[in-house]
Copies of this chain bind each other. A is one copy, B any other.
């Protein structure tokens, strides 16, 4: 079954294939009647342009890449889903959205101007720098999301994780917590570092002791949250933190389980805070207090900027920070100690 080309249409319309091409692309130099006749015929024959041919001559692939650091470990389902959805909502129809993990590649030979009109890199780790450098060398229009890269004149869109983490830890402190632990994200991930910085910022600002044994390394997945929390619980009743800041919601779920198994109730015995605001976080019991990260917004904006970049060929270096949002729910309360103290000291000193 041969597919119909502009030449077929040309024959039927008694014109040259050039005229057909122009008519179908809305060129202004074509007579209105001819144009309509041609469009009519094209419609009737169910003509669809051959994009490979277009690509070849126009030097565009019609592919947009959305690259994650990895699709294997450290990328949560919610994050992935929201990212794809955000991009997808912007590029409807015009482009193909190609989704990939950077760590799927051993070499980047296949990534060229010819194969991608533009790239969105949802970057989670400094390991991506090789890839990003390659993209720059290939002069592929590119927007880096989620992680700051300097030494690269690209648009950079990310959420202010440090500020967000600071905000939620500050909230814990204001609620009266002084012994606050952190379960960190995957080692090497930029977000891990930023969230930890936010935690430290808050602790320092309020002159709280920063204990090494209150800092444990997770890997952003549920399981690690569970195990790291168990580790913290080994500190024993006297040394236990009154609040734990988990570097993402997935780990908070794991941590919650560990705490519950240990016999603690949340938030009465232990306050728990997360980061990300996954879809399910509001539906946990207790509902998780966390920081909402604008993932979908980030990828939407990224896609919009990228498309603009491709179509206007303008190269801008620009860094955009998107605001995070504190989501106060039920997994954090005033610590028992604070309450006790308030009781003994009388209501007057209870803030």
Seen from chain A, the residues whose Cβ lies within 8 Å of a Cβ on chain B are: 1, 3, 46, 48, 50-53, 55-56, 61, 63, 71-72, 77-78, 80-82, 84-85, 88, 92-93, 96-101, 104-105, 109-110, 112-115, 139, 222-223, 225-226, 250, 253-254, 256-257, 260, 279-280, 282-285, 287
Q: Are A51 and B61 in contact (CB under 8 A)?
A: yes
Q: Are B114 and A50 in contact (CB under 8 A)?
A: yes
* A88 contacts across to B, CB distance below 8 A: 71, 99-101, 104
Q: Are A109 and B46 in contact (CB under 8 A)?
A: yes
Q: Are A96 and B285 in contact (CB under 8 A)?
A: no
Given contacts A88-B71, A99-B88, contact A257 B279 (CB under 8 A): no
Q: Are A80 and B71 in contact (CB under 8 A)?
A: no
Residue of B nearest to A47 (CB): B109
Q: Are B52 and A61 in contact (CB under 8 A)?
A: yes
Q: A53–B52 Cα gap in the complex (Å)?
A: 7
Q: Are A71 and B98 in contact (CB under 8 A)?
A: no
Q: Which of A52, A109, A254 has the most CB of B within 10 A?
A: A52
Q: Which of B71, B115, B256 is within 8 Å of A84, CB to CB?
A: B71
* A93 contacts across to B, CB distance below 8 A: 104-105, 110
Residue of B nearest to A77 (CB): B81
Q: Are B114 and A51 in contact (CB under 8 A)?
A: yes
* A56 contacts across to B, CB distance below 8 A: 50, 52-53, 55-56
